[in-house]
Structure 1
Amino acid sequence: MSIVTRALEGRSADALEAVRVEITDGLISAVSRRPSRDESLPVLTPGFVDTQVNGYAGLDVNGDDVTPSTLIALTERLRAIGVTTWVPTVITGPEERILHALDCIRRARTIDPRVHDAIPCAHVEGPFISPDDGARGVHDLEWIRPLDAGEVDRWRRAGPVGIVTVSPHADRSEEQIARITAEGVTVSIGHTSADHAHIVAAVDAGARLATHLGNGIPTMLPRHPNAIWSLLADERITAGVIADGHHLPDETLVAMIRAKGDRGVFLVSDLTTIGGLAAGVHTTPVGGRVVLGDDLRLSHAGSDLLAGAAATLVDGVRRLAALPSIGLGTSLRLASENPASITPGARPALGRLEPGAPADLVLLDGAELRVDDVVVGGDQVG
């Protein structure tokens, strides 16, 4: 007979209910609710799920010095900020570097069962993206190359590839996309200069996600058609968005969420190694010199181009929650249940407050939405 090993109490996002979660053998075993307006209780939410993390706090998935220990340490540091499940994101580079990073991810998951649960798969963002200025962002032009399902197959032999970001701008891209999706890899459209016809062909071939929608596109677009409209309009596409206040204006975020519906969007951080560091000039392994402002804007030194992000997923939750048309409940779902639902390899019921779901939970200060406590598999972190 299983014995309840832990119980947590908090309040719902709308502050209308007190919530008690019982935990047995690392899973939620019972959830009870009662009417309450006690705003002194912390907000109880599923742990955050971040499908786009390049690094954090001085650690980098893409550095030449990455090891399995890097992934283990990143898992611990991300848990401290409420991210209990994350997808290491390997960006454009030589194939050897991509293979090395994927091998490190695979070995880290083998070494540490906690990391195995925390990292369901890897996301490779590039190198099959648009070479055009603006669309490619700060990805290194030298290593951008044509879409090749054969290379993706080699990646899969090295590590647990679950998501690949591609640009379908070239003719017959859909043939490569169909081959990739047939192997169980989710294709996401991003860093693209593709026109409407090429995007539709890519989605028909199996592409199902949009990578940080509204970013990684040419700086000048025709009013219509363009990639943003095409991806917003297609109900088969679920869109990731960055809510750090720099990648997208608030009104754009609101419009995207309204267009896709609050089940068709999920938050990502796009965190880099600079996240969690002091403001100033830094050097990254793949982005070179970058400038981090006091407002957490991260840009490429000498230009206005964004160089990833330094704000965390909970920062994005705070920003969205402050928008009257969005609110806290939707913001939390966009950072937990929604990304869990599109993540290959995610554990059953991940991101939900229901019996049978993993007991990965976060308690947030009700006033400031500060991460006060984190529980992973029923055990308190830190």
Structure 2
Amino acid sequence: MDYQGRRIDTGEPVEIEVQDGVITAIHKLTEDPGHLPWVSSGWIDLQVNGLAGYDLNSERVTSADIEGVTRALHARGVAAYLPTVITGSDDRIKQGLRALADYCNSGAYGASSIIGLHLEGPYLSSEDGCRGAHDRAYTRNPDWEEFQRFQEAADGRIIMVTLAPERPGSLPFIEKLAEAGVVVAIGHTMATGEQLDAAIRAGATLSTHLGNGSQPHLPRHPNYIWDQLADDRLWATFIPDGHHLAPHVLKAMQRIKREKTILVSDCVKFGGMPPGRYHSLIGSHVELEANGRLSMVEHPAILAGSASTLDMGIAGAVAYTDMSLAEAIEAVTIRPAQVLGRPLLGMLETGAQASFTPFTWEEASASIRVVDTITDGMSRFGPR
């Protein structure tokens, strides 16, 4: 099967040849049809908690939840993602991980889009603000034996862990994760500069949703946001929904991190749902406003995850920062693939998996329309 589009990285009109789920050739078209959509390698989201009413952090995650999230992501241009299991009881975390592993092993629809699992917690700060909407009762110190049980439930699919490096036992835990090939991310933390430096030297490489999961009031300087921003050893993910970071803050942070900026959605199940008040395992009672802001009812200053998807985030990054459309796309393709140690995953090249996203861009409104999402060489929802 062949596909045509205009490469977002070069602007060239091309035809992509696919066989058995692999890109076998990419030819530059001799004539420009003039109506082609943009095309990039498939978008990658490193942090997805749920979407469209489907929850990956419910008390009992089902295959219907996982397939619902995956289909909804495909409709938004996301070809590959990390389901994110958050802080909770030992039983709930293991059940969620086991359900995700079983789904992947079943070969069900879109299973190949799940390229690994992200464990966000439970080894996070217990402090208000820093822990965000994570349940304080279940935040705890790193425990390698417990993590091994989590990894067993996940069938070895946990490839990223977000933790707070100031918790006792974190440094040897980070070293073991890094030795095992797991990406170590810093998040929901109030670590000192010395603790952050020690974590990076132990193997941490990424900041999770930098600028969020923090106390509402911080010293001007130093503080753990400045320290992570200034450290060139760290990549950083940002949620460009206009709520997690004010647009001017996102612009300043992106200018600092430059080519180490990665965009994520951090979407929860309320993405795509109508405004209103809901009950959620994340944050208990939450309110989704008409503008997309999702917060805890009891603590309106604390966000309860994102209700935006990655296509909206790409558009937001272009609108709010100095990023060009091509760079914003790089921040959801090449860069996350590099962080995961799978660079070919983020490339539109011969020999790569046939995973790509055709889309259109409306300059005047700074908006994206996803035309299709291709994974394993197959259209996942077709032209709309």
CA distance in 2, matches of 1:364, 1:60: 27
| Correspondence for 1:284 | 280
Q: Which moved more, 1:127-136 or 1:279-288?
A: 279-288
* 1:282-361 aligned within 5 A: 282-302=278-298, 303-323=300-320, 325-343=322-340, 349-361=344-356
- In structure 2, the CA distance between the partners of 1:228 and 1:37, relative to structure 1 (3 Å rule), is farther
Aligned-pair identity in percent equals: 37
- In structure 2, the CA distance between the partners of 1:110 and 1:8, relative to structure 1 (3 Å rule), is same
Aligned-pair CA distance for 1:146: 1.2
CA distance in 2, matches of 1:222, 1:36: 59
Deviations 1:227-279 (A, max 9, x none): 122212222211111000101122222222222222x1211100001011111
CA distance in 2, matches of 1:236, 1:324: 22
Q: Which moved more, 1:353-362 or 1:94-103?
A: 353-362
Aligned-pair CA distance for 1:35: 9.0
Contact residue 15 and residue 39 of structure 1 kept, 8 A: no
| Correspondence for 1:133 | 128
Q: Does 1:60 align with 2:55?
A: yes
- In structure 2, the CA distance between the partners of 1:65 and 1:321, relative to structure 1 (3 Å rule), is same
CA distance in 1, matches of 2:37, 2:194: 48
Contact residue 86 and residue 120 of structure 2 kept, 8 A: yes
Among 104, 112, 115, the alignment partner of 1:109 is 104
* Code of the aligned partner of 1:135: C
* 1:204-243 aligned within 5 A: 204-243=201-240
Contact residue 108 and residue 115 of structure 1 kept, 8 A: no
| Structure 1: runs of 5 or more not aligned | 1-5
CA distance in 2, matches of 1:16, 1:206: 38
CA distance in 2, matches of 1:322, 1:15: 21
Deviations 1:59-83 (A, max 9, x none): 1111013123322332222112111
CA distance in 1, matches of 2:320, 2:216: 26
CA distance in 1, matches of 2:235, 2:379: 32
Deviations 1:320-374 (A, max 9, x none): 1234621100011111221122236x5x611211111111121112324211222
Q: Does 1:199 align with 2:180?
A: no
Q: Does 1:268 align with 2:264?
A: yes
Deviations 1:131-180 (A, max 9, x none): 11110101111111112222111111110211111101235521221122
Contact residue 57 and residue 274 of structure 1 kept, 8 A: yes
Give the TM-score normalised by the residue count of structure 1: 0.92
> 3-state DSSP class of the match of 1:260?
helix
Q: Does 1:379 align with 2:374?
A: no
Number of residue pairs aligned between Structure 1 and Structure 2? 374
Aligned-residue Cα RMSD (Å) equals 2.0
Q: Does 1:252 align with 2:258?
A: no
Q: Which moved more, 1:192-201 or 1:356-365?
A: 356-365
| Structure 2: runs of 5 or more not aligned | none
CA distance in 2, matches of 1:248, 1:217: 12
Q: Which moved more, 1:228-237 or 1:76-85?
A: 228-237
Contact residue 141 and residue 169 of structure 2 kept, 8 A: no
| Correspondence for 1:170 | 167
> 3-state DSSP class of the match of 1:50?
strand
- In structure 2, the CA distance between the partners of 1:254 and 1:31, relative to structure 1 (3 Å rule), is farther
Deviations 1:108-138 (A, max 9, x none): 0111265442112111111111111110101
| Correspondence for 1:75 | 70
* Code of the aligned partner of 2:276: G
CA distance in 2, matches of 1:115, 1:374: 11
| Correspondence for 1:32 | 27
* Code of the aligned partner of 1:23: V
